[in-house]
Amino acid sequence: MLKRLSYWLLTKLGWTIHVDSPEIDKFVAIAAPHTSNWDFPLGILGAKAIGVKIHWMGKHSMFRWPYGWFFRMIGGTSIRRNGGQNYMQQMTDLFNNSERLVLALAPEGTRSKTDHWKTGFHSIARAANVPILMAYLDYGKKQVGMGGMFYPSEDIEADFNLIREYYKDRRGKNPENESLIQVRKK
């Protein structure tokens, strides 16, 4: 019911859906470009319309009363980033202890333009031995989609070349805020 309602709502808003993904139980989904506050609700709606139950990470403080139940209901996973807590290990453990898990992350880490993407998604996928699937909200074409699944390699630069190629024609709501798809320069 929720899948049909979400699909109907997206199409009424003028969006189309394109899905190219093999049937697989566990993967990390990266969502880009991330340039607007609208990305989150549209992304959740798109995942529901596609029929993918996603999980996403949020600071543990988001999950307190009175909104915590809502964030958990829509797939939020509480992460502690203080006191020596290792969120990468927390996510790897979550994958290892789950039969089915789709972890959705926005590697830009912000809606503002940056000169690099965060690489935690790559590290989590490698540590959990799961593939990466690329998801998008293309505001230029009004298309929600996902595809381009690959297993991350030890060569992160080569993997980022694949990612850059996949996203090269995808536009965010605010294209001027699209971040460069590259590893942070050292």
Stretches where the chain sits below pLDDT 50 are: none
| Distance in angstroms (rounded) separating the CA atoms of residues 125 and 95 | 9
**What residue segments make up the domains of the chain, in order of their start?**
2-177
pLDDT in tens, 89-135: 888 888 999 999 999 999 987 778 888 899 999 999 999 999 999 99
Q: How far apart are CA 74 and CA 86, in angstroms?
A: 23
Average pLDDT, the chain: 90
Q: Going by DSSP bridges, is the β-strand pair 16-19/143-150 parallel, antiparallel, or unpaired?
A: parallel
pLDDT for 114: 86
CA atoms within 13 A on the CB side of 30: 32
CA distance 137 to 15: 9
Task: State the pTM of this model.
Answer: 0.89
Measure the CA–CA gap between 140 and 14, rounded to whole angstroms: 12
| Type and span of the H or E element at 69 | helix 68-73
> What's the pLDDT at 82?
65
Over pLDDT 70: what percentage of the chain? 96
